[in-house]
Amino acid sequence: MPSILGVIRTMALHIETPLVESRALSMSAGRSVWLKLDALQPSGSFKIRGIGHACETYLARGARRFVSSSGGNAGLAVAYAGRLLGVPVTVVVPETTTDRAKELLALEDAEVVVHGASWQEANAYAQSLIDASDAFLHPFDDPLLWQGHATMIDEVRRSGLVPDAIVLSVGGGGLLSGVVEGLHRNGWSNIPVFAVETEGAASFHEAVKAGHTVELERITSVATSLGAKRVCEKAMHWSKVHSIHSVVVSDHSALSACERFLADHRILVEPACGASLAIAYENAPELEGFRTVLVIVCGGATATVDQIREWAKKCA
């Protein structure tokens, strides 16, 4: 009994994901395109890397419950981590949350509390529930998250592949902060990053333009996982000390990339991830001069193929 538990507890909650060269994307982009397939993480997105690490750390510090206010991939990662660690999870979501998201959370045995008309209200209520023995898991703004996300770059480094540019999606900037931390801790501080957002969710783009973080009035993109109104300060910090190029694509581009990726690689991802794939599918001018491009396939479990096609019809 103790030996089995011992084995389980020494393993991280995330898995080491495949790193593959995509023939289809390489042909579209006219250069070598590699994929870090974090869509294959057990919770459906890269988020389990950072959230798994944060949950394990908070448990070791004595947390008795994990609380989240995300009805998206962050909440799913907390629910998954809690189930594996044997820690109860409460996720507070607003009334706008889809039935699918609530079902996915319930499938991981999380307690789902529906409260308020918007995320702000759900989040405020979640904060009010927290007592000294609870840990609140932020979706993108926590150094433990960035440390955990950075493991994907450790894996790339161990594989022997040396990319000369990295493409990733930006919501609140947690993935960006983790990947850049990973580049720096592997001696790759010279590798540039393309930080991709969709129109209507471009809070990093606006921050870079302004020279400081700014709050978007509202999110209008279908890429809801990129819908942080303001990026974390750490993402802003990295934009000043690392070569990070902000790129904005349309919802239409992100959605067609999802459809093409499903056909080419048989993996369904959210438009939040399609945004990064679109850069390669459309051979964006920004990629000029780079021979080996690594796309972080961040994944996402909250969109169905029907929903992606429904959205695509609306923004055709």
Residues that bind ligand PLP (CB under 6 A): 45, 47, 73, 140, 169-176, 225-226, 228, 270, 272-273, 298-300
Angle formed by the axes of helices 47-60 and 73-85, nearest 10°: 40
Closest distance to ligand PLP from the beta carbon of 64 (Å): 26
Residue closer to ligand PLP by CB (options 32, 204) is 204
Closest distance to ligand PLP from the beta carbon of 256 (Å): 17
Residue closer to ligand PLP by CB (options 29, 223) is 223
**Residues 268 and 299 sit within 8 Å (Cβ to Cβ):** no
Residue closer to ligand PLP by CB (options 165, 273) is 273
Beta bridge partners of 195: 168, 246
Q: Exposed, middle or buried: residue 267 (CB in 10 Å: 0-12, 13-18, 19+)? A: middle
Please state the length of the chain: 316
Q: Which residues in the chain belong to E strands, given as ranges?
A: 19-21, 32-36, 65-68, 89-93, 111-114, 134-136, 165-169, 193-198, 244-249, 292-296
Which candidate, 25, 11, 13, 292, places its Cα nearest to that of 159?
A: 292
Residue closer to ligand PLP by CB (options 31, 234) is 234
Residue closer to ligand PLP by CB (options 32, 142) is 142
Closest distance to ligand PLP from the beta carbon of 270 (Å): 5
Closest distance to ligand PLP from the beta carbon of 46 (Å): 7
Closest distance to ligand PLP from the beta carbon of 285 (Å): 23
